[in-house]
Structure 1
Amino acid sequence: MSALNLAVESVSDLSNQPSGKVRITMPHFVYHMLIKPIYVEFCQRYPAIELEISLSDATVDIMREGFDMGIRFGEKVEAGMVAHPLTSPMDGALAVSPAYVDQFGLPQTPDELKHHKAIQYRYITSNHLAPIELLQDNQRITVEMPRALVVNDTYLVVDAALNGLGIGQLMGPVFEPYFASGELIPVLPDYWTSISGVHVYFHQHSQKAKRVRALVDFLLEKRDEKKSQTA
């Protein structure tokens, strides 16, 4: 946040009601899992705040791109940034459709995956393929599989898996509704790895602005409510 923005914000903060624009960036998956159910409540609670949500699966430099905060996986952030967890660590889950299993069978060991097709995710920022990783004998291993499809969108992985093209790997919460409905089947759940949870992050000076602090506190409030409901 620039010195000019902070100066303007300090004048606005003389009032009790947070006001002004808050820009936040996050992956599509995070929006659907965390923000979609709650953003309307935030806007209604703080009508003087103009909330701007930007969805991108790329890694975003929030300072350079002019965002007040971002949400992403992992707690490691650049110098001068502050990060707060919004979720616990997640499973790196593998999923496949019943139709695929009927035709090709369900793998019973990591070694059997080499005989199956993968739906693989490509990172937008690095352009690297996301490795298919499992935990075997307490060691993280990378499994090489022939690929049926490569995509750079989380929900394309889901769609391709639902249509029986192969086995997809994503964060567990993305697949959970489809596991519950029976539309997808877990693959090798005893071998799933753990993925760092989702964190909200922002520059340490940004939290001085009431409008930014309001959104951070709201997100942490909703996190704690969810924890208490599942305790």
Structure 2
Amino acid sequence: MRNGDFSDIAAFIAVAEEGSFTRAAAKLGLSQSALSYAVRMLEQRLETRLISRTTRSLSLTDAGERFFQTLKPALESINNQIDTLKTLHNRPAGNLRITTFKHAAQTVLFPALSAFMAEYPDITVEIDVNEGLADIVAERFDAGIRFGEQVEKDMVAVRVGPDIRMAVVATPDYFARYAPPQTPRELGEHRCIRYRQKTAGGLFAWEFRKGESALDVKVDGALIVNDSNMLEDAALKGLGLVYIYESQIVEHVAEGRLVRVLEDWCEPLPGYHLYYPSRKQHTPAFSLLLDRLRYRPHG
């Protein structure tokens, strides 16, 4: 192959990763026609069809799959070396992809990224908000952030946040009409606002722990939402009880807009951890972000 084919290979790999010319073109900042031309020229030079296209779908041929599996690690290694060389010139650079919860993005990632990205303007960070437990290897993420108890045993896990507590709350007006529950089992007598997980699709069970006792309660109620901010709004409008992150409602409780119940059943949960494969070769950009996110308890 001749010089200049590196960009064509990068174009093919982007299409293979995204499974779409549209998404790959957006990722590379190219027009779809330019991307399609680059892949077509690569196929002509190789005299091999790499991608099967129809009007509705795209898939790799057997040759394309072998080509992709062989060259992707090599391209990643080249990009890592380029990032390392840039770092040697005091300009850390690279692309990082992190999958996480919305709450973790808001409470852990964004506060750290404000100063981090100002300090390292050549590092690009992509955040994928996904409530499911993504396969970070198969989906080509650099790392994920989840609760410590959810991290697979074959992953390296680094704590990036303090313990987290949940809370059950409703408005004073709601509790003027309904007696506050004293135990989680009494939630069946209340109008509870249920939460449907966007990715998994299931209704979230309310989890309670008190000493050695543990209860997962499938509550009932006429309103179902799939966003934590909607939970907060629904509670403030007096529509029922919600089970929500304590950090979201602490000011509402302090100022009397919401009343908390079952607090003794909401024990701290393991905080957020950043996890990644143990065999992962760190890029300088990843190491810098990992160090910035690492949780350091005060005192």
Counterpart for residue 13 of structure 1: 84
Aligned-partner residue type, residue 25 of structure 1 = T
Alignment of 1:152 with 2:226, yes or no, is: yes
Aligned-partner residue type, residue 5 of structure 1 = E
1:40 is paired with a residue of what secondary structure? helix
Counterpart for residue 43 of structure 1: 117
> Number of residue pairs matched?
225
Find the partner of 1:29 among 103, 106, 111.
103
Paired with 1:204 and 1:7, the residues of 2 have a C-alpha distance of 21
1:118 is paired with a residue of what secondary structure? coil
Counterpart for residue 191 of structure 2: 117
Alignment of 1:169 with 2:243, yes or no, is: yes
Counterpart for residue 213 of structure 1: 287
TM-score by length of 2: 0.67
Give the root-mean-square deviation of aligned CA atoms. 2.4
Paired with 1:149 and 1:2, the residues of 2 have a C-alpha distance of 47
Paired with 1:144 and 1:25, the residues of 2 have a C-alpha distance of 27
2:165 is paired with a residue of what secondary structure? strand
Shift of 1:40: 1.8
Shift of 1:3: 4.2
Aligned-partner residue type, residue 165 of structure 2 = D
Would the aligned equivalents of 1:121 and 1:152 in 2 still touch at CA under 8 Å? Answer: yes
Which consecutive unaligned segments of at least 5 residues does structure 1 have? none
Would the aligned equivalents of 2:169 and 2:260 in 1 still touch at CA under 8 Å? Answer: yes
Alignment of 1:116-135 (within 5 A): 116-135=190-209
Distance 1:64 1:137, change over 3 A: closer
Paired with 2:289 and 2:128, the residues of 1 have a C-alpha distance of 15
1:179 is paired with a residue of what secondary structure? helix
Shift of 1:19: 0.7
2:158 is paired with a residue of what secondary structure? strand
2:134 is paired with a residue of what secondary structure? coil
Aligned-partner residue type, residue 201 of structure 2 = N
Report which of the two has the higher share of helix.
2
TM-score by length of 1: 0.85
Would the aligned equivalents of 1:27 and 1:56 in 2 still touch at CA under 8 Å? Answer: yes
Which is greater in Rg? 2
